[in-house]
């Protein structure tokens, strides 16, 4: 697996593994032994970058990652996140919480669940309108100096917030949705990242699976949260899937799948872009990893742009 650098010096595999789906976002959670097999299978295939969060499950995602990767800790980079309120029973409640004391509590709890001494990359999961980002950055900076965290990250933050945080504690990476399916970052955020030397970790580089062509609009299991997302259902979903069909035809000409072409496109947008497609299956993991070996010419990139032009996807991201 090729390697890439996030920020100044965080080396990771060119493609990481997003672990949200293992804990149940797209149906029920995987049994622990199956989740462990997928995670360790990633390491065997050269993946070194694994992304989880306290709210995945909640808590289950971190337990899965900890159990699977503990024996190979020196070979992997583990990222997790803080920033939401959880009930005492470990269920997500409405509202953000990036207060300094809460960040510290989450850090300690995540370290215990993961079974590690240091979190490699600690993201603020979403901006908290009640807490200045300078306070967030300062708190994570203290955790870095204490040895509990190595790198600071943000998620879904705008350009101004990124600048304010970076002025207090250098930001290593921004994790946000970015793909042929969602390109809003290109206006202000990506130029800011490139100016400041901050890496981008695109989540949902496959458009939550739709860009593979294997996920049909409106055809989701009962517990799959995509069933409530406008751009995957109804007339919007049908219109958007026609774009995917064009991408599939283009991928066939390249001897690839549409999912591989979508990931390769992301990789070609920046040398420090590290997509983290999620999967629950090793065969899909193999397919995703193979995208790192696809070279796209200027003509290829232009053809992909024609297949799914910027702004062509209709419907909002969330309900």
Residues marked active site are found at 56
Distances (CA, A) of 191 to 14, 170, 185, 205: 21, 17, 9, 19
Biggest CA–CA distance in the chain, Å, is 54
Q: Tell me if 191 sits within 8 A of 174, measured CB to CB.
A: no
**d(C-alpha 79, C-alpha 100), whole Å:** 19
Q: What are phi and psi of 75, to 5 degrees?
A: -105, 0
What pairs with residue 176 in β-bridges? 202
| Closest of 101, 105, 100, 104 to residue 88, by C-alpha | 105
User: Is residue 205 classed as helix, strand or coil in its secondary structure?
Assistant: coil
What are the CA-CA distances from residue 246 to residues 63, 209, 211, 314 (Å)?
40, 16, 10, 16
> CA angle, corner 121, sides to 176 and 111, nearest 5?
125
Give Cβ neighbours of residue 285 (< 8 Å, ≥ 6 apart): 17, 38, 41, 42, 45, 47, 279
Instruction: Concatenate the DSSP letters of all residues of 243-307 into one string.
Output: HHHHHHHHHHHHTS-HHHHHHHHHHTT-TTB----B-S-HHHHHHHHHGGG----HHHHHHHHHH
Burial zone of 60 (CB within 10 Å; 0-12 exposed, 13-18 middle, 19+ buried): buried
């Amino acid at each position: 697996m090729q390697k890439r650098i996030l920020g100044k010096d965080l080396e990771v595999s060119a493609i990481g593994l997003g672990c949200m789906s293992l804990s149940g976002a797209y149906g029920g959670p995987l049994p622990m032994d199956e989740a462990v097999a997928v995670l360790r299978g990633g390491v065997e295939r050269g993946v070194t970058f694994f992304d989880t969060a306290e709210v995945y499950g909640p808590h289950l995602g971190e337990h899965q990652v900890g159990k699977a990767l503990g024996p190979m800790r020196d070979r992997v980079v583990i990222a997790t996140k803080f920033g939401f309120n959880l009930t005492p029973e470990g269920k997500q409640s409405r509202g953000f919480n990036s207060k300094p004391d809460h960040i510290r509590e989450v850090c300690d709890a995540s370290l215990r669940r993961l079974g590690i001494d240091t979190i490699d990359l600690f993201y603020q999961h979403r901006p908290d309108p009640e807490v200045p980002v300078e306070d967030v950055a300062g708190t994570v900076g203290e955790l870095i100096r204490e040895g509990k965290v190595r790198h600071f990250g943000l998620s879904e933050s705008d350009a101004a917030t990124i600048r304010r945080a970076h002025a207090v504690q250098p930001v290593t990476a921004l994790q946000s949705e970015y793909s042929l399916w969602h390109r809003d970052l290109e206006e202000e955020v990506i130029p800011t990242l490139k100016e400041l030397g901050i890496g981008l970790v695109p989540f949902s580089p496959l458009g939550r699976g739709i860009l593979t062509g294997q996920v049909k609009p409106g055809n989701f299991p009962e517990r799959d949260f995509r069933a409530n997302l406008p751009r995957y259902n109804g007339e919007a979903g049908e219109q958007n899937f026609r774009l995917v069909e064009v991408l599939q035809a283009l991928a066939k000409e390249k001897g690839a799948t549409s999912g591989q072409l979508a990931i390769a496109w992301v990789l070609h947008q920046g040398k420090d872009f590290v997509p983290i497609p999620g999967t629950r299956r090793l065969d899909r993991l193999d397919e995703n990893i193979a995208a790192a070996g696809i070279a796209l010419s200027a003509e290829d990139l232009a053809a992909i742009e024609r297949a799914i032009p910027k702004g062509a996807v209709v419907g909002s991201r969330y309900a």
